[in-house]
Amino acid sequence: MVLKVYGPHFASPKRALVTLIEKGVAFETVPVDLMKGEHKQPAYLALQPFGTVPAVVDGDYKIFESRAVMRYVAEKYRSQGPDLLGKTVEERGQVEQWLDVEATTYNPPLLNLTLHIMFASVMGFPSDEKLIKESEEKLSAVLDVYEAHLSKSKYLAGDFVSLADLAHLPFTDYLVGPIGKAYMIKDRKHVSAWWNDISSRPAWKETLEKYSFPA
Amino acid sequence: MVVKLYGQVTAACPQRVLLCLLEKDIEFEIVHIDLDTLEQKKPEHLLRQPFGQVPAIEDGNFKLFESRAIARYYATKHSDQGTNLLGKSLEHRAIVDQWTDVEVGYFNVLVHPLVMNLVIKPRLGEECDAVLVEELKVKLGVVLDIYDNQLASNRFLAGDEFTMADLTHMPAMGYLMRTDINRMVKDRVNMNRWWEEVTARPAWKKLMKMAGFLT
């Protein structure tokens, strides 16, 4: 039985998808129609009780939270594809550190920008200009820290690409694309070089090619 | 060599690390970083934690920040010592990771602003945002129902053993339980049962004594 990822067209599930593709793991996807409220139906809530995407089913085993799925896949398939967890316990510690930075510090303001710039009208709430401005300022301050760090380190956790870098791909893709704030990345020399590197990886290109939101 | 933890013993994020170290019988030394005088924003601390937050650790030459990453590091490095916080198998560990990640995205995102408004702002003589507090309480109610449902058929969040998933919730929950909002937990049978059990653990009691919340 093949591993299934629910909700592939949305950003968070793409963290799981890019990891699966990097590791050469076979999988299937199951679309979830958020516009029709499919994520709030009992059948989906049985897989993900908070009603968000992704959910993953691997035979009898169920798991949700995109970064937990990334860790699961990276550990289970450690011996194939790039080692996305580092080679030592200490390297893994650095991977976990930057994966957590993405979750606690980088993604929250970026998520505000995503919701209020890309999805407000579609989801039927007023776009909050004050929140957009504050979120851009917060994200800018975070990117300044990234710029300093990436001037000394090729990738976030060291000289190897890891889950920490991949976790940034889906929403940063929105930032430089439909959110219309590519300058936040491009105006920072080392962040820009890092972004160009990770976003040109074949696994990410394949993720976008196959699972971008249908036009 | 003893682990040096930079932070304030009363603050939730340093407590997360301290609780892990206590559960694992790992020796540590606390280097006090005074949050009331914004010591965490000063140049010396920014070298340890470039986002200007606590905690950060130094263990010989090894440095790390992000409390959950630090806890995962020590739980992995000393998996044979003290309480096993990461589950018995790869699949179990991924469920532990899942609920640990849920704490970041669903729990802390609500509890942090609630505690800021109900506890911290009054202490600093600032005005509490009453409208925001009411909105957050409604959202928290929905989330706690999901937790209560999980704990109806599981002794702990990730199964029948105490893990990192439970531990990671405890510091912020401790703050919440010292406000009027503690009703929201006490009124939910399974959450109440779980909270009583996890706070009866010796490591928690030791931590609360260290923080001056228990005599």
What is the per-residue pLDDT across B58-106, written as a single tens digit (0 to 9) for each? 999 999 999 999 999 999 999 999 999 999 999 999 999 999 999 999 9
Phi first, then psi: what are they for B45, rounded to 5°?
-75, -30
Question: Is a pLDDT exceeding 90 seen at residue B213?
Answer: no
Cα of first residue to Cα of last residue in chain A, in angstroms, is 31
Name which of A93, A99, A104 is nearest B64 (Cβ-Cβ).
A93
**Chain B residue nearest residue A88, CA to CA:** B77
Q: What would the mean pLDDT of A86-96 be, rounded to a whole number? A: 98
Contact criterion met (CB < 8 Å) for B93 and A89: no
Name which of B51, B93, B98 is nearest A145 (Cβ-Cβ).
B51
Query: Which residue of A77, A87, A104, A151 is the best one to mutate when testing the B interface, meaning the one whose CB has the most B CBs within 10 A?
Result: A104
Quick: pLDDT tens for A150-163.
999 999 999 999 99
Contact criterion met (CB < 8 Å) for B101 and A149: no
Q: By CB neighbour count within 10 A (0-12 exposed, 13-18 middle, 19+ buried), where does A96 fall?
A: buried
Is the torsion defined by CA of B144, B146, B151, B157 positive or negative? negative
Whether B198 contacts B204, CB under 8 Å: yes
Kindly report the nearest CA distance between residue B215 and chain A, in angstroms: 33
Contacts of B149 in chain A (CB under 8 A): 49
Give the model's pLDDT for residue A1. Answer: 81
Cα of first residue to Cα of last residue in chain B, in angstroms, is 30
Q: Could you identify the residue written with the tokens 């560990």?
A: B93
- The pTM score is 0.96
Q: What would the mean pLDDT of A165-177 be, rounded to a whole number? A: 98
Phi first, then psi: what are they for B57, rounded to 5°?
-125, 155
The confidence band for A215, taking pLDDT boundaries of 50, 70 and 90, is low
Select the more confidently predicted residue: A98 or B36: A98
Kindly report the nearest CA distance between residue A203 and chain B, in angstroms: 23
Question: Is a pLDDT exceeding 70 seen at residue B37?
Answer: yes
Name which of B94, B100, B104 is nearest A104 (Cβ-Cβ).
B104
Contact criterion met (CB < 8 Å) for B94 and A96: no
Contacts of B51 in chain A (CB under 8 A): 101, 105, 142, 145
Question: Is a pLDDT exceeding 70 seen at residue B215?
Answer: no
Model ipTM?
Answer: 0.95
Query: Which residue of A3, A19, A65 is the best one to mutate when testing the B interface, meaning the one whose CB has the most B CBs within 10 A?
Result: A65
Say how far apart CA B86 and CA B71 lie, in whole Å: 10
Give the model's pLDDT for residue B12. Answer: 96
Contact criterion met (CB < 8 Å) for B76 and A92: yes
Q: By CB neighbour count within 10 A (0-12 exposed, 13-18 middle, 19+ buried), where does B2 fall?
A: exposed
